[in-house]
Amino acid sequence: MPMPWTYRHASSEFRAFIAAAREEMALDSDNMTYTAVDGVLQCFRRRLTPEQGILFASALPSVLAAIFIRDWDISTPPLPFASREDMTAEVRALRRHHNLTPDNAIEATATALWRVMNSAELARVLEKLPPGARAFWHIDHLPPDQLVRGA
Whole-angstrom distance between the N-terminal and C-terminal Cα of the chain?
A: 20
Question: pTM of the full predicted structure?
Answer: 0.90
Alpha carbon separation from 35 to 66, 90, 110 (Å, rounded): 15, 12, 15
Helix (H) or strand (E) holding 112, with range, is helix 105-116
How confident is the model at residue 142, as a pLDDT?
A: 64
Domains of the chain: 5-146 (1.10.490.110)
> In angstroms, rounded to a whole number, what is the distance separating the alpha carbons of residues 45 and 72?
8
74-78, 91-95, 108-112, 120-124: segment of lowest average pLDDT: 91-95
How confident is the model at residue 34, as a pLDDT?
A: 95
Dmax (CA) of the chain: 46
The percentage of residues in the chain with a pLDDT greater than 70, rounded to a whole number, is 90
pLDDT exceeds cutoff 70 at 7? yes
> In angstroms, rounded to a whole number, what is the distance separating the alpha carbons of residues 50 and 20?
28
Q: Which of 87, 91, 55, 68 is nearest to 14 (CA)?
A: 68
> In angstroms, rounded to a whole number, what is the distance separating the alpha carbons of residues 6 and 118?
11
Average pLDDT over residues 32-51: 96
